[in-house]
Amino acid sequence: MSNALPETWSARCRCGAFTARMSSPPVLQLVCHCTDCRAVAGTPFSNFVFFRARDTEVTGAATKREFVADSGHTTVRECCAQCGDMLIDRTAGFPKVVGVVAERIDRPFTFTPMHHVWADSKLPAVEIPPGVAAHPRGAPA
């Protein structure tokens, strides 16, 4: 069995109608604790994997929720128009990357967060593992 990374990654919503295909490796993996992520995902935090926008192709019908995040940047969350699963995060502050919900990426991908962001907003019961950088506010520059 080879330990080589795949040349492409794919992600899909629960029903499979909304997909993403990425042809380059992730550039950043993080856990976001902001209130917007909690509201859209319905979970205590969101796990995002960021890929180069130019190497990411998204297909299928989506609903889009646009808002100004606490960072001050316009953010668009794209969810499947059929099942409602959030799949994509696009933020004006990071125009060269596209965030993909980690749990939606097909195996053999393993989520390995490098950072926890908006840690000041995390729920009290959520613990940040030792050795993972925690940023009180947004993502590191």
* Domains defined along the chain, listed by start: 9-116 (2.170.150.70)
Q: Give 73 or 11, the one with higher predicted confidence.
A: 11
Strands 74-80, 46-52: pairing is: unpaired
In degrees and rounded to multiples of 5, residue 103 shows phi and psi of -70, -15
Q: Are 90 and 75 in contact (CB under 8 A)?
A: yes
Residue (of 57, 53, 37, 24) closest to 101 by Cα position = 37
Say whether pTM exceeds 0.85. Answer: yes
Does the pLDDT at position 53 exceed 80? yes
CA distance 28 to 25: 9
Q: What is the pLDDT of residue 1?
A: 44
